[in-house]
Chains A and B, each alone.
Chain A
């Protein structure tokens, strides 16, 4: 295996050229400014923009995509090492030795994300025109989507951790707004709040990590932080690594901060496709890869990353296998797939390319699957229970075809997109060698088995078998503005993997930015090596089991009671119960206790002081009888005492 290592950050820092002389790159800020302007216009314009708001909202991400393509060609026109360009926009805030700028970093890693976000984002905007056509809040929906795209682009384009944090929280806000888009549903509002709160816990990690970076490493910009890594203590790097991982866990729904993602399916389906499948939830992977130099210097943190990824991959797969709600099953699948990417990213440079490549292909097929699910839901009067689907294939041929392609891609049918990238993750994990490689590799293969099972289950229950529709449901194919994005995503699911991996195209492109190692992807080897064969075997096995359980015999319309394992899986492995018992309940008790303390102790002390003064003064007041002669007597006594004192003293 040919291994080429580039450490652009560490080796050739000044090589990060500036945008000067490149007209396209100096407009990189337009990438996020355009959708941001869209959000502002749609929100401030109010009802006046109702008529054309969705069109503007769609046009702007498309414009960003066009600009991103231009920037990509600009980068491709440069030598490999000169493809990392920082674009300062303006100084955000500077105090003393601390400076945070709105500085962008355009490099192969960020532009890959930008292309994914703007392309998939644009398609989902188009899809939403049809999907939200009946919704009175469509304009607001597009405003939030634009806001999301802008924030996500800031996240991936940021050249320092503070600006990244701006995007990080910005996507959190957009996610909050969109999950809770149907605010009148209490469940949606609760899910939105839950997502934001759990993300905040993760953000806490990012915040503290930034504090440590500034206090110890003296900077918060990527290049300076990474340049300071070799001189930093192991403890510091471990702490920063673990804190960044905490942030990544929150955003990417990794254990133990996974509980929000399934509830987030309360949002409209295009939101689930864009935010909770293709882009935002992968930000954690981006962060880990971007902060690679820190993780590479902290092996324990890397181990933690790998462990979290592996655990989430399996947990997500188990949950996805038990959910009857099509969107929640897909959400579990997303958890699982992102766990796989996190695992790969935790391997270090050896896994970066595989992780990011899988992230991109996953963005395509998972978005396609979600849009397909949305199309099905549309046809089924917004029903989400797969036990009431069945036999939809003839009624919805385009949806079935596109969903089918996504399905084949995600389970890793050879030569489809998912196969290429999953195969490279498997090869990277086994490539670690030793027991670690074996354990991790087996975990990924097990994850692949689960994927094959739950995705087959989903397709069988939804499109094949006998119809089990509820009364009054008349399935129909969706309009063209919904099916065209699905078709385009399906084409990506078919061919993108091959395009990226053949000739190691993506690996050589990405390597300079991340210091990734370029593994040659050997197609023939993937079929002959033991791990390649294992992957094929589990693929067949998973499909076969699903066939035996969900196609050979009819699906029951109400979920069976199930055994211990399936109940646990369908209750999301008790994640909510754990949160409730460990955090919510004690928190409620503490809050109530403090409210009582405030009232009965802190405030009572002050009120008591006031009451004391009042009582004592009314007591003294009682001595004022109003009788002049009693006053005179008192005075006499006073005079006598004074006189006596004087007499004694003298």
Chain B
């Protein structure tokens, strides 16, 4: 029995340390041939040879080696995760690849990992995105002393935690990963970010997340007090340790988890950290932040809020659906009003996350499967969009829409990639997000026609913000200052190409992912609905009292 999940967590963690160590060591200065080879490996030789001053060459060779090592580690992790996914049994609904070891026996804390289909696809998502982000960011920090190697080490550290947070099968372990993730991201924004506001944005991100995290900590302790264990498998289910708890307590604990997840998922009105963070992020950071990290919020709602406290669910359904609808429409309208591409994409994500939370709390099988699938598809689509915007930014140093125009004429491949990513974002059938959006919508209609019809408005608005951004940046006459703009080079094509390919493949053939997700969703839907009637009376009383 191979401990797949532990390997998938440990590999990038070891990689992070190794890369950090490598970036410190200096290789002999004379080895220019190696530098050139490294550049060839990184950019297929088409990158303009970096203007490295001789004195810096040794440092840059070290950084180049460190970055290649980091890329290797990320590919190895991807291989491990893919191998694991191939062994995944799509017929079973429980956790698989489980491992449980005591960690702090005094408090019932375990190192326990295991994945169901939803966690698996999210781990796959992170494993796919990390190497691509590295490719895209290869040249980004070359003016730094460490040549960007530190950034790569942070990415690997983050990856270890991302895998961990999705794989955790112990509430405390989940909490530890949940909070620890903040540290690398804080540095990725604050230290390696973009613009003068980056320190402020990083602090805002950190404070927001910490505030949610601390509330969650209270709820985590509450879970232990009420259930006597942190083990997820022992807590959940009809015979679980939390099955008999008081509904009022369940509501409070649910709320404690939910606030943390709502902040992370950027749900209106606690979303305002995201646009600032995205604007101050390098595109690679934004990809991981919005593509994977924020999914922890929606994943947590599905896995922890719903499954730990089924009796509290019915009290939250309508408020959360209402907030989701506000997020969908509000995020879309604000996206239309943005002048900065990074902020614009961030607001589109607020809108898309509204669809995900709507799907989760509509409590129908189609909607929840759609929501789980949406998490992955949104990661691919928004990831691609952020990367392409990033390529633009790396060329002109600005994310202001007004600084661009007519790019299509000089950089058709870039414009094409931008358009495909944008079309995925607006839910064009044939591209992956459509399937999930459609499932959420038809599932939501069964839950509430009004909610579904309001959500459909987001689909129309999506067309406006995507196409208008495309029109303003890519079409029209090409201004003189942009006439020298270079099209995508080989490295950049390799960074964004796989994402676009995945968007098309999963748009036309999403069934394998749905097969993995479906058993897990059947479980949560069952919990969400089967227990609801029993709890209905209690929560109705509660509502009356409040």
Contact flag A207-B429 (CB < 8 Å), given A92-B508, A95-B369, A591-B336: no
Q: Is B195 an interface residue (CB 8 A)?
A: no
Max chain A Cβ within 10 angstroms of own Cβ: one of B273, B338, B452 = B452
Q: Is A646 an interface residue (CB 8 A)?
A: no
Complex Cα–Cα for A91 and B509 (A): 8
Complex Cα–Cα for A340 and B412 (A): 41
- What size tier do the contact residues of chain B reach? 35 or more
Name the residue of chain B whose CB is nearest to the CB of A610. Answer: B207
Contacts of B435 in A (CB 8 A): 92-93
Q: When each residue 210-241 of chain A gets 1 if its CB lies under 8 Å from chain B and 0 otherwise, what string results?
A: 11101100000000000000000000000000
Pair B337/A169 contact, Cβ less than 8 Å:
no
Q: Is B342 an interface residue (CB 8 A)?
A: no
Q: Is A643 an interface residue (CB 8 A)?
A: no
Contacts of B456 in A (CB 8 A): 204, 207-208
Q: Is A531 an interface residue (CB 8 A)?
A: no
Q: Is B176 an interface residue (CB 8 A)?
A: no
Q: Which among B84-92, B235-243, B282-290, B442-450 touches the partner chain?
A: B442-450
Complex Cα–Cα for A210 and B514 (A): 20
Pair A96/B366 contact, Cβ less than 8 Å:
yes
Which residues in chain A, 170-204, are within 8 Å of chain B measured between CB atoms? 170, 173, 176, 180, 183-186, 188-190, 192-193, 196-197, 200-201, 203-204
Q: Report which of B269, B365, B438, B471 forms a contact with A193, defined as CB distance below 8 A.
A: B471
Total number of A-B contacts with CB less than 8 angstroms? 141
The secondary-structure label for the interface of chain A is helix
Q: How far is the CB of A632 from chain B (nearest CB, A)?
A: 34
Q: Which among B58-66, B72-80, B475-483 touches the partner chain?
A: B475-483
| Chain A residues with a Cβ closer than 8 Å to the other chain, count | 54
Q: How far is the CB of B261 from chain A (nearest CB, A)?
A: 17
Pair A590/B333 contact, Cβ less than 8 Å:
yes
Complex Cα–Cα for A464 and B167 (A): 78
Which residues in chain B, 487-508, are within 8 Å of chain A measured between CB atoms? 508
Q: Is B464 an interface residue (CB 8 A)?
A: yes
Q: How far is the CB of B336 from chain A (nearest CB, A)?
A: 5
Q: How far is the CB of A176 from chain B (nearest CB, A)?
A: 8
Pair B416/A594 contact, Cβ less than 8 Å:
no
Q: Which among A292-300, A544-552, A595-603 touches the partner chain?
A: A595-603
Complex Cα–Cα for A217 and B245 (A): 40
Q: Is A538 an interface residue (CB 8 A)?
A: no
Q: Is B430 an interface residue (CB 8 A)?
A: yes
Q: Is B24 an interface residue (CB 8 A)?
A: no
Q: How far is the CB of B476 from chain A (nearest CB, A)?
A: 5
Contacts of B338 in A (CB 8 A): 595
Name the residue of chain B whose CB is nearest to the CB of A180. Answer: B475
Pair A186/B445 contact, Cβ less than 8 Å:
no
Q: How far is the CB of B520 from chain A (nearest CB, A)?
A: 12
Q: Report which of A189, A197, A211 forms a contact with B452, defined as CB distance below 8 A.
A: A211
Pair B476/A594 contact, Cβ less than 8 Å:
no
Q: Is B109 an interface residue (CB 8 A)?
A: no
Q: How far is the CB of A293 from chain B (nearest CB, A)?
A: 21
Which residues in chain B, 200-216, are within 8 Å of chain A measured between CB atoms? 204, 207-208
User: Could you list 10 examples of A-B contacts with CB < 8 Å?
Assistant: A92-B509, A94-B511, A96-B366, A169-B428, A180-B475, A197-B463, A200-B460, A203-B459, A214-B442, A594-B337
Which 3 pairs from chain A and chain B are nearest by CB? A189-B475, A211-B445, A96-B365
Q: What residues make up the interface of B, taking CB atoms closer than 8 Å to A?
A: 204, 207-208, 268-270, 272-273, 330, 333-334, 336-338, 365-366, 369-370, 406, 408-409, 412-413, 416, 423, 428-430, 435, 438-439, 441-442, 445-446, 449, 452-453, 456-457, 459-460, 463-464, 467-468, 471, 474-478, 508-511, 514, 518, 521-522
Extra pairs beyond A184-B478, A594-B333, A603-B272 (14, CB < 8 Å): A92-B508, A95-B365, A96-B365, A98-B366, A173-B428, A184-B476, A189-B475, A196-B467, A207-B441, A211-B449, A215-B446, A592-B337, A598-B272, A602-B269
